Structure 1
Amino acid sequence: MNLATLESAQPWAPCAEAAPRTIRLAGGRLETAGNGTRFCCGGWRLTYAGAEPGSAIRVAVDVSTEGLDIPRDQLFCWIHWADLAAGAPMASGGTLWDSLRIESIDQEKVRFSRIVEVPRGVRRFALDCVFRYSAAGRAVWSPPVFEPSAGLRSGKRQVTACVATGRPAERGYIGTVADNVEYYSKICEAACLAIHPDVILLPENCLQYGLKERRAADAIVAPGPETEAFAALARRRSVRIVLGTKERDGDAVRNSALLIAPNGTIDGRYRKVQLAIGEMVSGILPGDRFPVFETEIGRIGCNICKDISYPEPARAVGLQGAEFLMLPIAGDHRASRWTAGSPTFDDERWKIIMRVRAMDNQLCLVVARNAGAGSCIVDRSGAILAYQDGGSDYISAVVDREAPFRMWNGGCFRDDAYTLRRPIAFEPLCDPLRYCPDPAPARMESAACAK
């Protein structure tokens, strides 16, 4: 299979003053080196023909480096899905492009790689090997390797997601965990009969929701009799269920999201990292990581309630390639009043928060709010695919895992969120003892004064 044929390899730079030193080496290798100025930027443009539109290709380029402090930052490799002139900085008119992802092989070698899909109508493309941000040092680029690939993702392309909350305001007395097991499992059963979802998300601590007392004894052991009702449903309806509950972990109690597979096993669990202020002094033990799980519908990660108040938890999930972020949540202080007093629910603020988190991290955000109203399914573009106004037991939407969201300039939104980041400058985010300095004491206002 002829994936792509090299037609030419020419030096490239945005302007003559920026051009790095370029040398052709034996074996098709190409060298770029600093030109003595920090304005240095450019390298090699390789043009190819013979690509098959719609085919999936794995591209890999190995690079040996010398004298570069941060190859991850100082080297860049991207594909323009167009026939570019040798001196053009990039395609215009919204022509599509994809950047390759870099990984370290050893101290002096990195690899750029990516599975890409050749756009419709494209048979010629250009691959740029760029040297930048350094006055000195050198990089030697090996000939790119193109291999056929099965595709960008495995499993179903169209995933039906469901959020099952019920209508809590219409419920009667809730005395036990068993009451909640019966209530939520019946709603899940009804949803399965009506819409045949691939995944159902339940709210935060739903098995303890509405109980009059907060007792450690109400935390469940999982797997156990309380989860078996949902496991049996998962097996019977071939559906994945994400269950929010207080969970026993030895001598500790956790606020957990349990991933119940279609075969009824618990094949993943997330434990809430950012506890709310009340939980911090309740004896609940926080988690310490954000795992991402490979499932039959794609990669799933979780946040729970207060986690979403900070940018890092959702970003930690996205950085591991998650396609879905499951969010069981009671509420968000940013979508409430901004003065002391009884909480409110600001529908517009809520939608902004959820849409921004989905867009910033380029994943589908599935939200189950305990009160029902505000539960939603938001795709990577920030579009709200389904929204719960409080008048139904569940909502659902079909999510396209391969929706080709592109920026106005032809780039991929996922690239912009992750591949183009410069984490070398994010050192303050890695300091566990760094807090935002308070420029002045916050003005105190009592609840009485706020009325």
Structure 2
Amino acid sequence: MQMVLFSLILSGLLAWPGTLLADKPRSPTIDGWTVNAPRDEIRPEFFIASERPLRLGIRADARPGLQGYWTRSFPVQGGEYYRFSADFTAPGVTSLRRSAVVKLHWRDAAGNKVPQDADVLTSELKNYQAMAEAEHPRIDNGAVTGRAADTYRAPTQATQAIIELHLQWARQAEIVWSDISLTPTAAPPPRKVKLAAVHFIPKGPTAAESCTQYDPLVEKARQQGAELIVLGETINVVNSGREAADVAEPIPGPSSDHFCRLARQHDTHIVVGLFEKDGPLVYNSSVLCGPAGQIIGKYRKVTLPRDEIAAGVTPGTEYPVFETRFGKLGMMICYDGFYPEVARELSMNGAEVIAWPVWGCNPLLASARACENHVYLVSSTFTDVASHWTQTAIYDHAGHALVIGQEWGDIAITEVDLSRPTRWPSLGDFRSGISRHKPETVPESSPPR
């Protein structure tokens, strides 16, 4: 009788949810895929949504901070290129960029990190052995679905790629990964482009005359192969003796038409700054003219200095990025450079190059904006180099000025390859991790701190 009673009690403990003798969370495995979490106390639920086709799921309950991932090793040949791709659906996930994460780790046969031997920055951390850090494939997504995909060169000593498919920091949500592949592919073609900035102050006195004064400089830049030519800020007011509201013009309008004709004549892209009039409002704007003679887009300066505020200029509210034949271009203007938000929003929207017409700004901030976003920054200024302030220059991913305009009328021009990442010795490809690691923005409605 006592044995029967003990058996009944033991059975009840095993079956009762939350008892010390309850089963541990199930760890499903399939086709070489296993599951993992940093710690059991923040482990989400793992499940196999379907076996054929293979669909791997992770589910988070109401607890905060849950993290877990499916993982598998794929064999690779060092020095060869591979294409990774995986689709996902993520109902309930509020921040796909932070919660739907893929990591790719290059390892040797023993599972150790291997040296990174391509695209490594050598100007900093000179005595540091660069190891292959985690890759973060780019994610294109809608509201609840998306695809993580990218192409990589395996480091020379790598023999395996370890893929991790994550759900992290979501609550009352799940993700299902599907169509997962890592396959050999050809090396991506180079995407070389010559970027140029004109170091020049128009003499006015009219907007039309200032526009034509740029004509020989645009021709000079294009003769050197420039695919993008960046000109100065608000050139329709420079040396005019007039106020912003007096010279502001619609876009399209006379000045933008002039530069679109130039862009078409020289088969290139031109960015120029103008005071824009739109109804009763005046904006400090930049226009992107394309090689077909069209306006590809415009940007309205978001951060205004006190003088522009006093003059009744209205700030913009958007951070557009435009497709061009050489890549994705964003624009910012002068005082925008004093604040990290503008360049960060443009880079988050996909900008590979930022054109920056600028009267004046701290050159350290130009370096910072390029470096913290891993973009090429092309600045055209009215500041003389002798002032040790803003430079007409082109900055690389590390924030270094590759070329600087020294004399008035100089063309600062250099060629870059947009297909190549920049890998820091200690951080790897920093740009690929920005969207995964960038903190969530505190709502403006929050009380001041």
What is the TM-score when the length of structure 2 is the normalising length? 0.75
Determine the C-alpha separation between the residues in 1 that align with 2:36 and 2:165: 9
Q: 1:357, CA displacement in angstroms?
A: 0.7
CA contact (8 A) 1:231 1:264 kept: yes
Correspondences of 1:277-292 after superposition (within 5 Å):
277-292=306-321
How do 1:434-445 and structure 2 match up within 5 A? Answer: none
Aligned letter for 2:102?
A: C
1:11 to 14, 35, 47: 35
Q: State the match for 1:99 in structure 2.
A: 136
Measured against aligned partners, the alpha-carbon deviations of 1:215-264 in whole angstroms (never above 9, x if no partner) come to 63422333344334423322222111101112232343321111110121
2:25 matched residue in structure 1: none
- Name the residue aligned to 2:166: 130
Is the contact between residue 200 and residue 240 of structure 1 (CA under 8 Å) also seen in structure 2?
Answer: yes
Letter of the structure 1 residue corresponding to residue 71 of structure 2: R
Q: 1:233 & 1:399 partners in 2: Cα distance?
A: 23
State which drifts further: 402-411 or 259-268: 402-411
- 3-state SS in 2 of match to 1:331: coil
Q: Could you tell me which residue of structure 2 aligns to residue 199 of structure 1? A: 228
Do residues 78 (structure 1) and 112 (structure 2) align?
no
Query: Hey, what's the Cα distance between the residues in 2 that align with 1:70 and 1:295?
Result: 29
Q: Once structures 1 and 2 are overlaid, which stretch shifts more, 246-255 or 95-104?
A: 95-104
CA distance 1:143–1:84, change in 2 (3 Å): farther
Per the alignment, residue 442 of structure 1 pairs with: none
For residue 26 of structure 2, what is the aligned residue in structure 1? Answer: none
Q: Residue in 2 aligned with 1:388? A: 405
Tell me how far 1:164 sits from its aligned partner: 1.0
Q: Using the alignment, how far apart are the partners of 1:405 and 1:18 within structure 2?
A: 34
Question: Which has the higher mean CA deviation after the structures are superposed, 44-53 or 196-205?
Answer: 44-53
**Alignment pair present for 1:418 and 2:435:** yes
Query: Is contact 1:115-1:151 (8 Å) kept?
Result: no
Question: Is residue 161 from structure 1 mapped to residue 161 from structure 2 by the alignment?
Answer: no
Question: Which residue does the alignment assign to 2:329?
Answer: 300
Whole-angstrom CA distance in 1 between matches of 2:62 and 2:311: 60
Once the two structures are TM-superposed, the CA of residue 197 in structure 1 deviates from its matched residue by 0.7
Residue 176 of structure 1, CA deviation: 1.7
Superposed CA deviations along residues 138-197 of structure 1, whole A, max 9, x for unmatched, are 6554452457889879xx71111111132x4xx8x642222212212222223323x121
Match of 1:188 among 192, 211, 218: 218
Contact kept in structure 2, 1:63 and 1:139, CA below 8 Å:
yes
Q: How far does residue 295 in structure 1 lie from its aligned partner after superposition?
A: 0.6
Gaps in structure 2 of 5+ consecutive residues: 1-29, 116-129, 386-390
Tell me the distance in 1 between the aligned counterparts of 2:39 and 2:353.
42
Secondary structure of the 1:190 match is: helix
Label 1:15 to 1:204 Cα distance change in 2 as closer, same or farther (>3 A): same
Which of residues 44, 57, 62 is equivalent to 2:88?
A: 62
Please tell me whether residue 311 in structure 1 is matched to residue 347 in structure 2: no
Distance (whole Å) between structure 2 residues aligned to residue 20 and residue 85 of structure 1: 28
Contact 2:109 2:160 in 1 (8 A): no
- The 3 A distance-change label for structure 1 pair 151 and 105 is farther
Residues matched between the structures, number: 398
- Distance change >3 Å, CA 280–CA 134, structure 1 → 2: closer
Amino acid at match of 1:403: R
Instruction: Quote the Cα distance in structure 1 between the aligned partners of 2:333 and 2:448.
Output: 23
- Give, in whole Å, the separation in 2 of the partners of 1:233 and 1:302: 19
Unaligned stretches of 5+ in structure 1?
1-5, 333-349, 438-451
Structure 1 range deviating more: 130-139 or 395-404:
130-139
Q: Whole-Å Cα distance in 1 between the matches of residues 86 and 417 of structure 2?
A: 27
The alpha-carbon distance between structure 1 residues 82 and 276, as it changes in their structure 2 partners (threshold 3 A), is same
1:309-348 alignment to 2 at 5 Å? 309-332=338-361
Query: Secondary structure, in 3 states, of the residue corresponding to 2:423?
Result: coil
**Residue 366 of structure 2: aligned partner:** 354
**How many angstroms apart in 2 are the aligned matches of 1:384 and 1:203?**
18
- The residue aligned with 2:378 is 366
How many angstroms apart in 1 are the aligned matches of 2:109 and 2:95? 29
Secondary structure of 1:307's counterpart equals helix
Secondary structure (helix, strand or coil) at the match of 2:288 reads strand
Q: Secondary structure at 2:135's aligned position in 1?
A: strand
Q: Check the 8 A contact 2:90/2:173 in 1, yes or no.
A: no
Question: Is 1:273 the counterpart of 2:285 in the alignment?
Answer: no
Provide the residue aligned with 1:440 in structure 2.
Answer: none
Distance in 2, matches of 1:44 and 1:58, equals 15
**In the alignment, residue 412 of structure 2 is paired with which amino acid?**
I
